Amino acid sequence: MSDDPGHPDGAAPAALSTKFEELPDAPPKRRLRLTRVGKVAVSIVAFWLVVVFIGPWIAPYHEADIVADDSFTEAGTFCSQWEPDECSFHLIGTDYLGRDLLSRIIYGARTTIGISIASTVLAYLIGVTLGIAAAVGGVKLDTGLSRFNDAFISMPNIMLGLVVIAAIGSTIPILIVTAGCIFATVVFRIARALALDVMVSDFVEAARGRGEGLWWVIRKEILPNIAMPLATDFGLRLVFIILFTSSLSFLGLGVQPPHSDWGSMVRENLQGLAYGSLAPIAPAIAIATLTISINLIVDDVSAHAGGRLAKRML
């Protein structure tokens, strides 16, 4: 620049010794902070997880033991009518066959949460794999997978579940696979939408322009960017699957006796409502505490990620 006619202060550079730093334009990175409600929710979920792991050792009785010879006994010590020496203590009473309710809820946590987590993991394996495949695999694959998925998603979950289980029987593995496949449809849609969003970003184009392979792009560019919203959805999906398997059990097609499961416990003890028994209420409360807590944690996590995350989920 030999001369600059537009400059009123051509001699200025000497005066420019003062250094003006570039001002940062982003706030410092925020750490996830739970609200008080969120903390309570985390402790409830943690409590149930502990119960899942150490349940059989802390339960007073086995889930299948008929310990009292009367149904729907109240909370407290119960002594047999015929052999008054044989007494047993039940913290929240017994169920319709005289089994200890607390023990059944503790054992039930295992089946209910175990089945749900297994199903959710399966739903995610199928849904995310196919969802990303649809997003990166070109128009034909995308159309094929999406229409196939639409066909399944158009059927009510519970109907689909009933048909499958009525046709091939109800064992725990079948229950897991059925719930996993049904919920994979929703996961597919979310994973596909999120991955499509990332696929069109400049940084993915930069990677592809560099000549990176598809696998690298998926692993390094796409997955890290969709992991957070997917993790949030994992919690929500888990809740839906708990409710789904519980509904199936309630209808008698889920977990079969003598295994205890919160959903089937509500159904089998339904007559107890007439006697004011806790037996149908307690498992319902267990389901409610677990699902609501998971929801509250998800709320906190999404609030942290801002409205942005919520928008992408919808």
Partner 1 sequence: MALLEVDDLRIDAHTELGEVLPIVKGVNFEVARGEVVALIGESGSGKTTIALSALGYTKPGLEFAGGEVRLDGRDVITMPPDDRRMLRGRNVAYLAQSAAATFNPALTIGEQVTESAVLHGLLTQEEANRRAEALYGALELPDPDRLGRRYPHQVSGGQLQRLMAAMALCGRPDLLVLDEPTTALDVTTQIEVLKAFKKVIREQGAAAIYVTHDLSVVAQIADHIVVLYAGEIQEMGAADDVISRPSHDYTRRLMAAVRPPPAAGQGEGGTEAHLRDAPALEARKVNAGYGRRPDGAPAMKVLFDIDMAIERGRVVGVIGESGCGKSTLARVMAGLTPASDGDILLDGARLGPSVGERTRQELRSVQFVYQMADTALNPRQRIDELLGRPIEFFLGLKGEEKRRRLHELLEMVELPPDFAGRYPEELSGGQKQRVNLARALAADPEVLLCDEVTSALDTIVGANVIELLKSLKERTGVSFVFISHDLSTVASFADEIVVLYAGRVVEKGPVDAVLSPPFHPYTRLLISSVPELRVGWMEEMMATSTAQAGIDRVVTITEVGCPFFDRCPLAIEGTCDTEIAPNRPIDGLVSDRHVIECHREVPELMAWSQS
Residue ranges that bind partner 1, judged by CB under 8 A = 1-9, 12-13, 15-16, 18, 20, 22-31, 33, 201-203, 205-206, 208-212, 220-221, 224-225
**Which runs of consecutive H residues, i.e. helices, occur in the chain?**
36-58, 101-136, 139-153, 157-168, 172-199, 202-209, 214-216, 223-250, 262-268, 281-305, 307-313
**Nearest distance from residue 1's CB to partner 1, in Å?**
6
30/147 with CB nearer partner 1 = 30
**Nearest distance from residue 269's CB to partner 1, in Å?**
47
Contact criterion met (CB below 8 Å) for 260 and 63 = yes
Q: Tokens for 110?
A: 């295992």
Contact criterion met (CB below 8 Å) for 102 and 91 = yes
**Nearest distance from residue 232's CB to partner 1, in Å?**
16
**Nearest distance from residue 17's CB to partner 1, in Å?**
8
- Three-state DSSP class for residue 94: strand
CB burial class (10 A; 0-12, 13-18, 19+) of residue 69? middle
**Nearest distance from residue 33's CB to partner 1, in Å?**
7
Contact criterion met (CB below 8 Å) for 107 and 56 = yes
203/275 with CB nearer partner 1 = 203
8/84 with CB nearer partner 1 = 8
**Nearest distance from residue 209's CB to partner 1, in Å?**
5
Alpha-carbon span 96 to 80, nearest angstrom: 16
22/85 with CB nearer partner 1 = 22
> What is the residue whose two structure tokens read 């709320």?
299
Contact criterion met (CB below 8 Å) for 240 and 183 = yes
32/288 with CB nearer partner 1 = 32
79/206 with CB nearer partner 1 = 206
Phi, psi of 126 (to 5 degrees): -70, -50
Alpha-carbon span 37 to 113, nearest angstrom: 22
Spatial neighbors of 310 by CB under 8 A, at least 6 apart, are 302
**Nearest distance from residue 53's CB to partner 1, in Å?**
32
11/167 with CB nearer partner 1 = 11
Contact criterion met (CB below 8 Å) for 152 and 185 = yes
